[in-house]
């Protein structure tokens, strides 16, 4: 953190000893923001224990110096993020809260550093993300609006991930409105149906399958 942020923390927070028991529900190396959400929660809790001396906006700003994805978790649940992820703009939820999804995470995890190292900016999409958000809000989810520029480098790092996406797409043809990789991998998401493809039940490599239920948006 920047020196002025440390000064604020030392002046207003007592830094009493806090013991944290972490019961992980979101798998690591999944591209689902599990670690970042843990960090945001820990920072929020430390502030609560110290009398809420910092605003959530300040916590959001500080968190960007810890990790690029952490500021999102101080948003209202749906946000448009730019920069490294530290510039967070709250938006209205583009999808219904009860839309069914299937999340399939293989045993292997993608190294985020390796994925970004292989990202070629000259081969990324030139579509304006705000245009995609507008299309989703107007027409719903579809394959053409689910663009993840990290898929090609992630598939280089973990070729089996590309095959998994192809299998899910083929098995769920007509079942899922869109199939895509989440974040930097390695979770593949199918949107539009609560039913996983049959092969995930038959293959031990896909034991970690998560079905999303109806979410209560607060």
Domain count, the chain: 2
Residues 6+ positions from 81 with CB-CB distance below 8 Å? 71, 72, 87, 88, 89
Q: Using only the alpha carbons of the chain, give its radius of gyration.
A: 19
At residue 116 the predicted structure's pLDDT band, cuts being 50, 70 and 90, is: very high
Query: 208 forms bridges with which residues in the sheet?
Result: 105
Q: Read off the CATH number of the domain in which 151 is found.
A: 3.30.70.890
At residue 218 the predicted structure's pLDDT band, cuts being 50, 70 and 90, is: very low
Is position 95 within any domain? no
Residue-number span of the structural domain to which 50 is assigned: 3-90
Are residue 120 and residue 194 in the same domain, yes or no?
A: yes
pLDDT on residue 209: 65
pLDDT on residue 178: 96
- Reported as a single tens digit per residue, the pLDDT across 160-197 is 999 999 999 998 788 999 999 999 999 999 999 988 88
DSSP-derived 3-state class of residue 40 = helix
């Amino acid at each position: 953190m920047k020196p002025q942020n440390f000064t604020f923390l030392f002046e207003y927070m007592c830094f009493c000893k806090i013991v944290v028991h972490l019961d992980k529900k979101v798998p690591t190396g999944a591209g689902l923001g599990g670690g970042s959400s843990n960090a945001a929660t820990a920072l929020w809790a430390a502030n609560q224990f110290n009398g809420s001396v910092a605003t959530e906006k300040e916590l959001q700003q500080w968190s960007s110096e810890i990790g690029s994805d952490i500021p999102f978790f101080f948003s209202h649940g749906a946000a448009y993020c730019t920069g490294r992820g530290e510039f967070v703009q709250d938006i209205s939820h583009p999808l219904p809260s009860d839309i069914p999804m299937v999340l399939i995470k293989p045993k292997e995890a993608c190294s985020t550093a390796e994925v970004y190292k292989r990202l070629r900016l000259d081969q990324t999409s030139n579509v304006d993300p705000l245009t995609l958000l507008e299309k989703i809000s107007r027409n719903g989810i579809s394959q053409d609006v689910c663009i993840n520029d990290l898929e090609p480098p992630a598939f280089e790092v973990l070729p089996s991930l590309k095959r998994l996406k192809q299998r899910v797409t083929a098995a769920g043809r007509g079942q899922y409105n869109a199939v895509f990789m989440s974040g930097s991998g390695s979770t593949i998401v199918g949107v539009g149906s609560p039913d996983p493809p049959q092969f995930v039940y038959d293959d031990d490599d896909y034991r970690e399958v998560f079905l999303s239920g109806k979410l209560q948006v607060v």
